[in-house]
Amino acid sequence: MHSRILILRFPATGTNQPVVCYLARNFDLTFNILKATILPRKEGIMVLELSGSKKNFKDGVQYLKDTGIDVQNASREVNRVKNKCIHCGACTAVCPTSALAVHQPDMAVIFEQKKCSICELCVPACPTRAMEVHATSEAFFA
Report pLDDT digits (tens) over 56-75.
999 999 999 999 999 988 77
For the whole model, what pTM was predicted? 0.57
The architecture (CATH level 2) of 2-73 comes to 2-Layer Sandwich (3.30)
User: Is residue 60 within a helix (H) or strand (E), and if so which, with residue range?
Assistant: helix 54-66
Compute the mean pLDDT over every residue in the chain, rounded to the nearest whole number: 87
Q: Is residue 126 a contact partner of residue 86, using CB atoms and an 8 Å limit?
A: no
The class of domain 76-135 in CATH terms is alpha beta
Distances (CA, A) of 45 to 13, 52, 138: 13, 22, 21
Q: Is residue 86 a contact partner of residue 64, using CB atoms and an 8 Å limit?
A: no
pLDDT at 139 over 80: no
Mean pLDDT of 23-43: 88
**For position 140, what pLDDT does the model report?**
46
The C-alpha torsion from 73 through 64 and 115 to 113, rounded to 10°, is 10
Which amino acid is it at 119? C
The reply to whether 2-73 and 76-135 are identical in fold is yes
